[in-house]
Amino acid sequence: MSARKYATVFAIAARDQVVYIASFLMRNVFFVIILFVFYSLWRVIYGGAPDGVAASGATTIAGFTMVQVLWYLTFTETIELSQTRVFMPISAEVKDGTIAYSLCRPYSYVLYWISRSMGENIVKIAPMLLTGFVVATLFVGPLPGYLTALPVGLVAIVMGVLIGTTVQTIIGLLAFWFEEVSPFWWIIQKLVFVIGGMFIPLDFYPEWLANVARWSPFAFVAYWPASTWVDFSFDRAMTTIVGQFVYAVALLALAAGVFRSAVRKLHVQGG
């Protein structure tokens, strides 16, 4: 019964999202342009001084061919651009006090927002994967092993978005303690950019930094899903899925904990 409740929230949010054709177009246009910027940049970089050669004869940097780098960025940008900024409505509800009404409804507040936001995210992910497929193929050609990695890749990308969304939910709830929460979002987002390998595979980093970054939750949002798809092996796939599962559970528990202490604060202060 309860699972159906969240499934309905998910479905309604998904349908609602389809209506926003204009914002859909904007997002995909931006996506294509940013991929074009990356393509322009990496084309020049790979034309310069590569540091290795792949089995296929293509030149590599940090073990990645140019085809792999661009496809990698296609996947990380899909994860980044498809994420609804769910911390915004949550923090707005907290600030204007409407959260008090939401608390009366018969559902878990945290799960409500996560299902709702994931509904919107999925609708954004699907066309972006398609756009990314077409654009990346046109720029650098097809990704070897795309289909082999597809099943795990899809799950890993959705899981990456789920982790990001859960973190956002926690940030939204921080509005109980801070007047302005968007700086927390910027910081987390930038940690995903840097530590998570959003702009560049972590393998490009100096060894020590790459080793630390690789096991952070941020890497499981971007680096692990994207690198699994471009450089598939069952070993890597297992690491990705298990790591994502562990972090997702841990963060959901944290979100629930934050929510509980927020409610206590609400009751003490009477809203």
Partner 1 sequence: MEPIVHVEHLTKSFTMRVKQHGLAASIAGLVRPERRTIDAVRGIDFAIEPGEVVAFIGPNGAGKSTTIKLITGILYPDAGTVRVMGMDPHRQRKALAYRIGTVFGQKSQLWFHLPPADSFRLLGTIYDLSTAETVKRIDFLTEVFEIGEFIDQPVRKLSLGQRIRCEIAGSLIHSPRVLFLDEPSIGLDVVVKQRIRDLIARINAEERVTVFLTSHDAGDIEKICRRAIVINHGSIVWDGTVKEMKYSFLNRRIVEVKMDGPATVSLPGVTVLKQRDYSMKIEVDLGVSSAERVISELLRQSSIQDITISSAPMEEVITHIYERTGRPAPPEPAEVES
Partner 2 sequence: MDRSNRRRGGMLRLAAHYFRFNLSASMAYSTSFVIQVVGMALNNSAFIIFWMVLFERIGGDIAGYALADVMFLWSLAATGFGLGVVLCGNAMFLSRIIYSGELDVYLLQPKPVLPNVLMSRTMVAGWGDFAYGIILFFATQPLSLANVGLFALFSLLLGIVLVSVRVAYHSASFSFGNAEGFAGLSGELLLTFTLYPGSVFRGPTAWVLHTLIPAAFVAYIPARIFRAFDARLLAIVIAADALIVLVSVLLFRRGLRKYESGNLIGTRM
Of 13-32, binders to partner 1 (CB under 8 A) are 18, 21-22
Residue with tokens 């598939």: 232
Report how many residues bind partner 1 under the rule CB under 8 A: 3
CB of 22 to partner 1, least distance (A): 8
To which residue do tokens 């789920």 refer?
162
Task: Give the one residue of 2, 7, 30, 211 binding partner 2; rule: CB under 8 A.
Answer: 30
CA angle (117, 121, 125) in 5-degree steps:
175
CA 61 – CA 205 distance, rounded (Å): 11
Please give the order of strands across the beta sheet that includes 64-65.
52-53, 59-61, 64-65
Instruction: Name which of 205 and 224 has its Cβ closer to partner 2.
Output: 205
Q: How far is the CB of 193 from partner 2 (least distance, A)?
A: 5
Phi, psi of 16 (to 5 degrees): -55, -40
Q: Counting contacts by CB under 8 A, is residue 49 touching partner 2?
A: yes
Q: Which residues neighbour 37 within 8 Å (Cβ) at sequence distance 6 or greater?
A: none
Beta carbon of residue 222, minimum distance to partner 2 (angstroms, whole number): 13
The nearer residue to partner 2, 146 or 204, going by C-beta atoms, is 204
| Nearer of residues 112 and 204 to partner 2, judged by Cβ | 204
Does residue 85 interact with partner 2 by CB under 8 A? no
Q: Select from 38-46, 114-122, 133-141, 235-243 the region that touches partner 2 (CB under 8 A).
A: 38-46
Instruction: Determine the residue type at 258.
Output: V
Smallest gap from residue 139 Cβ to partner 2 (A): 13
Judged by CB, which is closer to partner 1: 51, or 179? Answer: 179
| Max Cα-Cα span within the chain | 68
Residue 85 touches which member of partner 1, partner 2, none, C-beta under 5-8 Å by kind: none
183 binds partner 2 (CB under 8 A): yes
- Cβ proximity of 184 and 174 under 8 Å: yes
Q: How far apart are CA 130 and CA 128, in angstroms?
A: 5
Among 12, 41, 134, 138, the residue binding partner 2 under the rule CB under 8 A is 41
Report which of 239, 230, 244 is spatially closest to residue 75, judged by C-alpha positions: 230
